[in-house]
Amino acid sequence: MRIDVLTAFPEVFEPVMASGMLGIARAKGALEFEAHDLRDWALPGVHRQIDDSPYGGGSGMVLRPEPVFEAVDAVGAMDARRAFVILMSPQGERFTQAHAEQLAGRDRLLLLCGRYEGFDERIRSLADLELSIGDYVLTGGELAAMVVSDAVTRLLPGVLGGETSIDDESFTTGLLEYPHYTRPAEYRGMSVPEVLRSGDHGKIARWRREQSLLRTAHRRPDLLEAADIELTDTERRLIEGALHEHAEDE
């Protein structure tokens, strides 16, 4: 996969995208990543202007359309694969694991990072999709673009190594992931559940399933309403009890 980012601050990406699994993905050739400076397509002049004051008045500056349109044209032409263009915006769809899985199946992404007070409305016409990472406003789209790049890259074949681990992660099944433990078996009075040390894989699988259901019921009951999963009668009773406890605690 290739990911291109258009931003006024390309230098902030390399420390993140060269580290950890993202750096490994690039080294393996699973990911091509490049952050492009929007000022390379700025208006003529020494100030390399990419923003301007808004029509109608108001505070702040607005990202002009010309640099963004020209940058999208130029970066798009750098690879024969068509770029799926994503505009990072607090007004976009809330980014989910389902989005990450869908985007991981594409050959190429082009992420547009907003800045300043906002961007000229005409820039929206470039986007195949608008995404938000949450109901809050950042100083720019760079952090959001990093989140999307990270979530997508880790799903690419061969990046994580243990592919089956992805299947049990939070949000992949519609539920939160079960708790994890490692050595030592006891620490500061806190013990690893005996079932995890039993060696009985059937019991371990059932325990993890129950813990996943309980954790979701306690922490994110809204996910249970949306999750498309089959439940046994025992699991339904387990969830009902957990939801009842959750309601009493509120």
Name the least confident of 32-36, 130-134, 220-224.
220-224
Query: Which has more pLDDT, 190 or 160?
Result: 190
Both 34 and 68 in one domain: the answer is: yes
pTM comes to 0.87
- The tokens describing 79, both together, are 């690879």
Residue 102: band (very low, low, confident or very high) from pLDDT cuts 50, 70, 90: very high
Both 18 and 140 in one domain: the answer is: yes
209 is in which domain, residue-wise? 164-249
Query: Which has more pLDDT, 117 or 77?
Result: 77
The pLDDT assigned to 225 comes to: 81
Which residues are CB-neighbours of 28 under 8 A, at least 6 positions away? 158, 159
Q: Is 25 a member of any domain?
A: yes
Both 96 and 220 in one domain: the answer is: no
Beta bridge partners of 33: 3
Q: Is 182 a member of any domain?
A: yes
> Tokens 């100030």 appear where?
47
Quick one: which of 91, 103, 175 has its CA closest to 133? 91
Mean predicted confidence (pLDDT) in 10-14? 97
> How many domains is the chain partitioned into structurally?
2
Average pLDDT, the chain: 92
Contact in structure between 2 and 14 (CB atoms under 8 Å):
no
The three-state DSSP-derived secondary structure of 136-192 is CCCCECHHHHHHHHHHHHCCCCCCCCCHHHHHHCCCCCCCCCCCCCCCCCEECCEEC
Residue 250: band (very low, low, confident or very high) from pLDDT cuts 50, 70, 90: low
The pLDDT assigned to 164 comes to: 47
3-state SS, residue 113: strand
